[in-house]
């Protein structure tokens, strides 16, 4: 999911940077003082998730968990993901500092989207919670992949080629993220249900 | 149960970390690292995604410092590509870029010293001869033919000895994120959260 340095053109890098800064500013306003710790913990979870490799076919995929971060944090997931990506670029060399904005948009944009799309379903409880959580995990990766393909359009291949290539590789990851998000949400619903409402409670 | 809201999420979080440390030990993510070295008359390129995960069939392009394309090719199943060393001016550099599928790219620049430009094969024997001659006064005299033969033997033997070292360097270059970095990153995130919380609570008290 991380785009490396030196691939994208300057206009896309600039657009990504501006969008990421706006998103981060909105997100920071949404962080209630009581939930700073949860935000930083979910940011850490996102930070380490990229290291979890699951062998799929000939290659392997790594978890992203942006769906999970999104449904719990809502807009606050933008700063959470941006900081985690910054540290990943600095410490692991994933992505890079110039592409930080674009990578933030690719991963945090879908996080906010699934919060609005599936948040109400998850708060309803019961079977719709399980389904909503699965869809949130899956759709977040789907949207991220589409954004990734869109960002890469300006490089060498056409959008459709790139998207087809990426989507094929990401289908196992979508299912996996769906399942992981489903289990984590079911677990949280049992042990700490207020966490699933927290983005709502902050700004009713 | 809800009196301490972050206790349970932190428990969950540490379970996640534990699971990740167990599952991910050898294979780590998507940083494409490239390393190249001169071996004999060839340049060897090695590309990997970290710990023993070679970039198979990655597109390699080799350019001069000025951006002129010198060579194009694909890596093999071990993430390696070997191509003849191009003729370059003394201070010429070479930039090797490897692309490993959409969004993944890494590069490595070889300096004149890496390329050994100063010791182009054609000049070498003459230079070496003049360097050896003073010392050879004391040793049994060698004919010019023998000296040439000897210097070729020596450079071959040294190349053979050094090759594994270069390959070892290449492996070192491709190491993925270390445990220190992972723990350090988590520390930063939790620390920043703590700092923000402390700052917020101080603002509240006022």
Question: CA A165, A151, A99, B18 torsion: positive or negative?
Answer: negative
B197 close contact with A: CB closer than 8 A: yes
Give DSSP secondary structure letters for chain B.
-TTSHHHHHHHHHHHHHHHHHHHHSS------EEEEEEETTEEEEEEESSTT-B-TT-EEEEEETT--EEEEEE--TTSEEEEEPPP--TT--EEEEEE-STT-EEEEEE-HHHHTGGG-TTTHHHHHHHHHHHHHTTSPP--HHHHHHHHHHHHHHHHHHHHHHHHHHHHHHT----HHHHHHHHHHHHHHHHHHHHHHHHHHH-
pLDDT score at A151? 83
Q: How many domains does chain B have?
A: 1
Q: How far apart are CA B180 and CA A141, in angstroms?
A: 29
Higher pLDDT, residue B100 or B131? B100
Is A51's CB within 8 Å of B20's CB? Answer: yes
Contact B189 A47 (CB under 8 A): yes
Residue B80 included in any domain:
yes
Chain B residue closest in CA terms to A5? B105
Query: Is residue A3 in a domain?
Result: no
Min Cα separation A113/chain B (Å)? 23
Average pLDDT over residues B98-121: 74
The verdict on residue A2 lying in a domain is no
- Which CATH number covers residue A104? 1.10.1760.20
- Specify if B114 maps to a domain: yes
**Does A94 contact B29 at a Cβ distance shorter than 8 Å?**
yes
Q: What is the pLDDT of residue B118?
A: 52
Q: In chain A, what residues touch B33 (CB-CB under 8 Å)? A: 93
**Residue B206 maps to a domain:** no
End-to-end CA distance of chain B: give it in Å, rounded.
30
The four Cα atoms B60, B65, B69, B71 give a dihedral, to 10 degrees, of -50
Strand A53-56 with A59-62, pairing: antiparallel
Nearest CA in chain B to A95: B31
pLDDT of A31 reads 86
| Mean pLDDT, range A193-198, rounded to an integer | 76
Q: Do A51 and B31 touch (CB under 8 A)?
A: no
Do the Cβ atoms of A69 and A80 come closer than 8 Å?
yes
Total tally of structural domains belonging to chain A: 1
What is residue A6's DSSP assignment?
T
Is a pLDDT exceeding 90 seen at residue B112?
Answer: no
| Predicted local confidence at residue B26, as pLDDT | 39
> What contacts B11, CB < 8 A, 6 or more positions away?
none
Question: Residue A195 is part of which domain span?
Answer: 10-202
Span of A84-88, A170-174, B16-20 with lowest mean pLDDT: B16-20
Contacts of B185 in chain A (CB under 8 A): 44, 47-48, 87-88, 91-92
Higher pLDDT, A82 or B139: A82
Residue B198 at interface with chain A, using a CB cutoff of 8 Å:
no
- Residue B92: give its domain's CATH number: 2.60.40.3080
* In chain B, residues 155-184 whose CB comes closer than 8 Å to chain A: 176-177, 181-182, 184
Chain A: closest CA distance from residue B162 (Å): 29
Is residue A174, in this structure, part of any structural domain at all?
Answer: yes
Tell me which chain A residues have a C-beta less than 8 angstroms from the C-beta of B63. Answer: none
Residue (of B141, B123, B120, B121) closest to B132 by Cα position = B141
Of B33, B105, B188, the CB nearest to A7: B105
Average pLDDT, chain B: 75
Give the integer Cα–Cα distance in Å for A154 and A151: 7
Evaluate whether B85 touches B65 at the Cβ level (below 8 Å): no
Q: Is residue A179 part of a domain?
A: yes
List the single range of A30-44, B53-67, B161-175 with lowest mean pLDDT.
Answer: B161-175
pLDDT averaged over every residue in chain A: 85
Asked if the structure places residue B151 within a domain, the reply is yes
Buried b (16+ CB within 10 A) or exposed e, B74-101: ebeeebbbebebeebeeebbbbbbbbbb
Dump pLDDT digits (tens) for A124-164: 878 889 999 999 999 999 999 888 888 887 665 566 777 77
The answer as to whether B185 is a domain residue is no
Please report whether residue A1 resides in a domain.
Answer: no
Domain for residue B132, yes or no?
Answer: yes
Q: What is the ipTM of this complex?
A: 0.78
Q: Is residue B124 part of a domain?
A: yes
pLDDT digits (tens, 9 = 90+) for B42-80: 888 888 877 667 888 888 988 888 888 888 888 888 888
pLDDT of residue B34: 86
Range of the domain at B117: 33-173
Nearest-Cα distance to chain B for A45, in Å, is: 6
Structure confidence at residue B90 as a pLDDT band (50, 70, 90): confident
C-alpha–C-alpha distance, residues B95 and B74, integer Å: 16
Inside any domain, residue B79: yes
């Amino acid at each position: 999911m991380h785009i490396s340095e030196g691939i994208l053109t300057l206009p896309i890098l600039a657009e990504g940077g501006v969008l990421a800064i706006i998103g981060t500013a909105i997100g920071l306003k949404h962080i209630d003082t009581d939930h700073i710790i949860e935000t930083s913990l979910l940011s850490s979870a996102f930070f380490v998730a990229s290291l979890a490799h699951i062998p799929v076919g000939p290659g392997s995929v790594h978890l992203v968990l942006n769906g999970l971060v999104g449904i719990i944090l809502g807009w606050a997931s933008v700063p959470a993901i941006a900081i985690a990506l910054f540290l990943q670029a600095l410490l692991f060399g994933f992505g890079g500092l110039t592409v930080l904005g674009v990578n933030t948009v690719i991963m945090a944009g879908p996080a906010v989207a699934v919060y609005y799309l599936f948040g109400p379903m998850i708060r309803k409880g019961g079977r719709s919670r399980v389904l909503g959580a699965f869809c949130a995990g899956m759709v977040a990766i789907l949207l991220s992949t589409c954004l990734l393909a869109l960002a890469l359009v300006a490089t060498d291949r056409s959008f459709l080629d790139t998207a087809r290539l990426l989507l094929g590789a990401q289908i196992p990851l979508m299912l996996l993220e769906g399942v992981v998000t489903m289990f984590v949400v079911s677990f949280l619903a049992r042990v700490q249900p207020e966490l699933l409402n927290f983005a709502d409670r902050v700004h009713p | 149960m809800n009196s301490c809201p972050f206790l349970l999420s932190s428990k969950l979080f540490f379970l996640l970390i534990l699971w990740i440390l167990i599952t991910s030990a050898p294979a780590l993510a998507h940083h494409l690292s490239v390393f190249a070295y001169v071996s004999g008359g060839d340049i060897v390129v090695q590309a990997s995604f970290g710990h023993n995960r070679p970039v198979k069939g990655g597109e390699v392009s080799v350019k001069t410092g000025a951006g002129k394309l010198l060579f194009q090719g694909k890596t093999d199943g071990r993430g390696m590509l070997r191509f003849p060393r191009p003729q370059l001016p003394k201070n010429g550099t070479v930039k090797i870029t490897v692309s490993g599928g959409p969004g993944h790219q890494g590069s490595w620049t070889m300096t004149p010293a890496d390329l050994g430009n100063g010791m182009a094969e054609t000049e070498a024997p003459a230079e070496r001869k003049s360097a050896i001659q003073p010392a050879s006064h004391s040793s049994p005299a060698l004919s010019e033919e023998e000296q040439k033969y000897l210097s070729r033997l020596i450079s071959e033997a040294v190349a053979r000895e050094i090759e594994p070292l270069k390959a070892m360097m290449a492996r070192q270059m491709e190491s993925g994120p270390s445990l220190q970095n992972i723990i350090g990153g988590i520390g930063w995130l939790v620390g920043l959260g703590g700092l923000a919380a402390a700052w917020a609570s101080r603002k509240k008290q006022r």
